Amino acid sequence: MIKVKLSHQFYFKNSNEQNSFRGSKKSLINSISENVNAIFYPGSGFDIETLAFFLDYSSASEIYYVDYLGIVNFEQLKSLFENLLIPDVEETDKQLNDLNIENWQCLWHPQSSYFENAEDISYYKILNFAYNGRKINLHFINTDAIGTYQFLLNRNIKIDLIVCQDHGGIAWTNFCGDSLLYEIAHHSNSLPEYLMITEGQEEWPNYQKVTDDFGIFGLCKVKRSIFKLET
C-alpha cells in the first residue's frame, strides 16, 4: 500500500483558498471525514477534481460515479489516475449475475430516454485502489442515475453525500431542488446527511448551506458548496 497525496491544484484555485477552507471549516471537515463513507454522483462524467477532493476530505470508501450520455470513456477515466499519482489500480467488471439482476433495465428508470437501449450500453465497473491507508472502491456505472440510485437504496446501501449538478437539456431529469432524485430519497427515508451543490443551483428542501462556494470542479470548472440536512 503506497501512501500518496493529491495537490490542491486539482480542486482549489490556489493554496490561499485551500488554507481558508481548512481554517474556517475545521468542524465540518472533521464531520465529513468521520461520517461520509459512501458518495453518489449522478451525471458525473469524468470529474476527477471531485474525486480528488473527497479522497482528501472524507473517509469515503465507496464512491459511485453514474453517467451514460457518452461523454465518458472508461479508458479516459482510468488514465486520469496517472494525474492523481495513484498506483496499483485494479479493475473489476460486474456482470448481471454479480449484481443478482436479470437485465440491465433494473438499473434504469422507465422514463429515461435510453431505457430501451439499456442492454446495449450498460456496464458496471469498479476501480479498486488504496489511498492514504484506506481501500477505495470507485464504482463507475454506465446507467441511468435515477434508476441506479433506487437500485442501491433497494440493496440497503446508505448514501451519506450526493453531488448535485443539473446539466441542462442533455438529460431527461434534474438532480437539484425538488427533483425526482430528492423525492426518492425523501420517500424512502434515505436523505443523505450532506449534499455538494454547484454554484447557482438549487439545494434540496430542508438543507442548509454550510460552506461558501469554492473550488474548480468538473468539465466546466464550476464552484460548489456543501449543504447539510437540517435536524
Residue 171 belongs to a domain: yes
What is the residue-level pLDDT of the chain in tens, covering all 231 positions?
333 344 445 577 667 777 676 665 667 777 777 889 999 999 888 788 888 888 888 889 999 999 986 545 666 666 666 666 666 778 899 999 999 999 999 999 999 989 999 999 999 999 888 888 889 999 999 999 999 999 999 999 999 999 998 875 556 788 999 999 999 999 999 999 999 999 989 999 999 998 888 887 877 788 899 999 998
- 83 falls within a domain: yes
Where in the chain does DSSP place strands (E)? 38-42, 62-66, 90-94, 124-131, 134-141, 161-164, 194-198, 207-209, 214-217, 222-229
Whether residue 231 is contained in a domain is answered as no
Q: Which stretches within 67-210 are classed as H helix?
A: 74-83, 96-99, 118-121, 145-154, 180-187
Return the exposure string of 150-165: e unless at least 16 CB atoms fall within 10 Å of the residue's CB, then b: bbbbeeeeebbbbbbb
Residue 76 placed within a domain: yes
Residue 19 inside a domain? The answer is no
Taking the CA atoms of 100, 104, 109 and 111 in sequence, report the sign of the dihedral they define: negative
Structural domain count, the chain: 1
Regarding beta strands 90-94 and 214-217, do their DSSP bridges make them parallel or antiparallel, or are they unpaired?
A: unpaired
The CA-to-CA distance between both ends of the chain, in Å, stands at 39
Residues facing residue 161 across a β-bridge: 39, 194
pTM of this structure: 0.88
Greatest alpha-carbon span in the chain? 51
Asked if residue 218 is part of any domain, the answer here is no
Give kind and range of the element (H or E) at residue 57: helix 48-57
Residue 56 lies in a domain: yes
The CA distance from 199 to 165, in Å, is: 9
**Residue 18 maps to a domain:** no
Domain that holds residue 52: 25-211
Q: Are 137 and 34 in contact (CB under 8 A)?
A: no
